[in-house]
Amino acid sequence: MKSRHAFTLIELLVVIAMIAVLMAILMPALRAAKDQGKKAVCTSHVKGLVLALKMYTDDYNGNTHIAPNNGLWDNSWEHPTIIRQYGPNDNYAYWGIAYIPYAKNKKIFYCPGKIRVDDWPEWGPPWGRQSQEYFKYCSYGLNSYIARERDVPGRTKKRPTNIYHDFKKHSEVIAYQDHIEQRLDGIDSDMFCIGPGNRVNIPQWRPSSQGGTGFVDSTWSGDQWHDTVKECFRHRGGSMAVWLDGHVTEIKETTGEDIPPKWYTGELEGTL
């Protein structure tokens, strides 16, 4: 009868060490593959969003919806007996509400790479990190230059933006992109180019130590702290941007020197 041979302690330690080495080699590759999957889903979502925008403008003679500057779909944050869906012009409304009838479903407004978007901690309770559940489907920032009122020469009444009249080169104008902000207000605050008088881009979301305005130093500090710049470039240092013509590119983390303002404003900057 053959005797059983048990592993010695040395042999077990060698096997454990080999497994540890293999895990150290494989884990980064697995994380990278997972992140690539998130990026692919995000790319699909933003393509769907610009398609929804195009269908909306086809129904409204090229005009876009003048978007509110907030990020909620409904009033569930109030814990009502009956939840009320916000309309596209409600003060708290997310810009996506105007385009949801043309979208596949609400899920395309969600980026799987998102950790946290603007949840208004400067407003105090109930806002801040604890309210993030209400902002789940608000992952993408709208270029406000494609969704704002514009002056009409000789008239006091303003008009909505028209993507065909106001933007001649749709392949050179960003529509939406990964961002912590739900609506990107201007080139001087939260867009990826460097605005007039600034040293770096997105000064609203940079700490003062990085050339920012200091807004996040006080309102996004302590238990509300979040890496706000990293959130803008949430895909391993990249932000997925979809352009008005529907193509998608990845903008690598930058301080803005390589991003021209016309990617947001378009060629007709005098009409803004």
In a domain, 227, yes or no: yes
Q: Are strands 140-143 and 183-184 parallel, antiparallel or unpaired?
A: parallel
Q: Which range of residues forms the domain containing residue 216? A: 38-271
- Contact by Cβ (8 Å): 147, 67: yes
Predicted pLDDT at 21: 82
Taking phi over 0 as left and psi of -120 to 50 as alpha, with beta for the rest, 88 belongs to alpha
Q: Report the 10 Å Cβ neighbour count for 132.
A: 17
- Tokens coding 219: 């309102």
Angle at 200 between CA 196 and CA 206, to 5 degrees: 120
Predicted pLDDT at 29: 65
In a domain, 20, yes or no: no
- Contact by Cβ (8 Å): 45, 110: yes
Q: Which helix (H) or strand (E) holds 4?
A: none
Its pTM surpasses 0.75: yes
Predicted pLDDT at 65: 96
Q: Are strands 238-243 and 159-160 parallel, antiparallel or unpaired?
A: unpaired
In a domain, 251, yes or no: yes
Q: Report the 10 Å Cβ neighbour count for 140.
A: 31
In a domain, 219, yes or no: yes
Predicted pLDDT at 270: 42
In a domain, 256, yes or no: yes
In a domain, 9, yes or no: no
In a domain, 33, yes or no: no
| Number of structural domains the chain divides into | 1
- pLDDT digits (tens), the chain, 272 positions: 555 566 677 777 888 888 888 877 777 766 767 778 899 999 999 999 999 999 999 999 999 999 888 999 999 999 999 999 999 999 999 999 999 999 979 999 999 999 999 999 999 999 999 999 999 999 999 999 999 999 988 888 999 999 999 999 999 999 999 999 999 999 999 999 999 999 999 999 999 999 999 999 999 999 999 999 999 999 999 999 999 999 999 999 999 999 999 999 997 544 44
